[in-house]
Amino acid sequence: MFSNRYIFIYSTVMVIIVAVLLSLTAMLLQPRQEKNMTIAKIQGILAALNMNATPENAEELYQQYITTELAVDQNGQVTTIYKDGKFEMGEVRPFTIDLKKELYNKKMGSPFVVPLYIAEVNGDTLYIVPLRGTGLWGPVYGNIAFESNFNEIAGAYFTHDKETPGLGAEISTKEFSSQFIGKKIFNDAGNFVSVKVVKGGISTLATGQQIHGVDAISGGTITSNAVSEMLKNCLENYIVYIHNTITI
């Protein structure tokens, strides 16, 4: 028979061994995991430019194409400019901004800043907006690139942590994200309308509205709605900036 004393000691020892083992593993693997995450973030930004970066050449391509990183505050004012590896304004690199925290601040009505990346590709200026939202099981996120008029979408990339494989997880496929190319976030009157993911397909929309919509994923309605919501929530932060800087 086992005494209570034995059971207590046994459990304590077991828990300590497990805790040490797991913390050691986590500590040893952390640098690798963080590097993976940074590279994944860079790959995501490049993917919005329709570039397929490998983990090896991601950082190199990023330096080659992304010329400027900006931080834009809640009033649409630029607070940080990080250009060609040097700060022209501010001192925190916009790349390191934690979008999750900033969007939480936004929800709470506190001041926040959001990053904006500017790329030069074959002489064209492209704007890349990082996105983050809430899917069915966990966060959905991605990047969306705009042509120099900051209206027409040049490319999009979406990914997720926990969406259902085969259903909501399909947002990370090229078939889904390539639908966004050529869509517009402003209507002809210049008002912000975002791009919606439409259940049942954009053929159900009026002809004039189809430029602001893409087809949803069958079986992935909640994730599809999350993408719509994410686009609206993240893009509206830049409206003032767009009106101030870009004249069409």
Partner 1 sequence: MSAEIKEKDPLFSLKNRKLLTVPLNRENPITMQVLGICSALAVTAKLEPAVVMAISVTFVTGVGNLVISLLRKSIAPRIRIIVQLTVIATLVILVDQFLKAYAFDVSKQLSVFVGLIITNCIIMGRFEAFGMANKPWPSFLDGIGNGLGYGIILIIVSFFRELLGSGTLWGYPVLEKIGLYRLGYENNGMMILPPMALIVVGIIIWVQRSRVRDLIEDK
The distance of closest approach from Cβ of residue 163 to partner 1 in the complex, given in angstroms and rounded to an integer, is 8
Count residues near partner 1 (CB under 8 A): 31
Restricting to residues 35-74, which ones interact with partner 1 according to CB under 8 A?
36, 40
Give me the least distance between CB of 97 and partner 1, in Å please.
Answer: 22
Distance CA 171, CA 189 (A): 30
Closest CB to partner 1 among 40 and 89? 40
Question: What is the spatial distance between Cα 41 and Cα 174, in angstroms, rounded to a whole number?
Answer: 17
Show the site string, 167-196: x = touches partner 1 by CB under 8 A, - = not. Answer: x-x---------------------------
200 binds partner 1 (CB under 8 A): no
Closest to partner 1 by CB, 15 vs 92, is 15
Burial 212-245 (b: 16+ CB within 10 A, else e): bbbbbbeebeebbbbbbbbbbbbbebbeebbeee
User: Between vectors from CA 29 to CA 23 and to CA 30, what angle results, nearest 5°?
Assistant: 85
| Phi, psi for 11 (deg, rounded to 5) | -65, -40
Rounded CA gap, 158 and 131, in Å?
8
Q: Measured from the CB atom, is 74 or 221 closer to partner 1? A: 221
Q: Which is nearer to partner 1, 24 or 92 (CB)?
A: 24
CB of 223 to partner 1, least distance (A): 13
- Give the Cα separation of 136 and 151 in Å (integer): 28
Report the site for partner 1 in 119-178 (rule: CB under 8 A).
137-138, 159-167, 169
Cα dihedral value 96, 50, 147, 92, nearest 10: 10
Among residues 204, 218, 244, 245, which is the contact residue for partner 1, using CB under 8 A?
A: 218
196-198 and 213-215 beta bridge pairing: parallel
By CB under 8 A, residue 21 contacts partner 1: yes
Nearer CB in complex with partner 1: 82/176: 176
In the structure encoding, which two tokens stand for residue 21, read together? 């083992």
Q: Give the nearer residue to partner 1 in terms of CB position, either 33 or 244.
A: 33
Kindly state whether residue 23 participates in binding partner 1, applying the rule CB under 8 A: no
Nearest to 140 by CA among 130, 153, 154: 130
Minimum CB separation of residue 205 from partner 1 in Å reads 21
User: Which residue number, 101 or 162, has a Cβ lying nearer to partner 1?
Assistant: 162
Q: Are 122 and 137 in contact (CB under 8 A)?
A: no
> Do strands 113-121 and 124-134 pair parallel, antiparallel, or not at all (unpaired)?
antiparallel
- Contacts with partner 1, residue ranges (CB under 8 A): 2, 6-7, 10-11, 14-15, 18, 21-22, 25-26, 29, 32-33, 36, 40, 137-138, 159-167, 169, 218-219
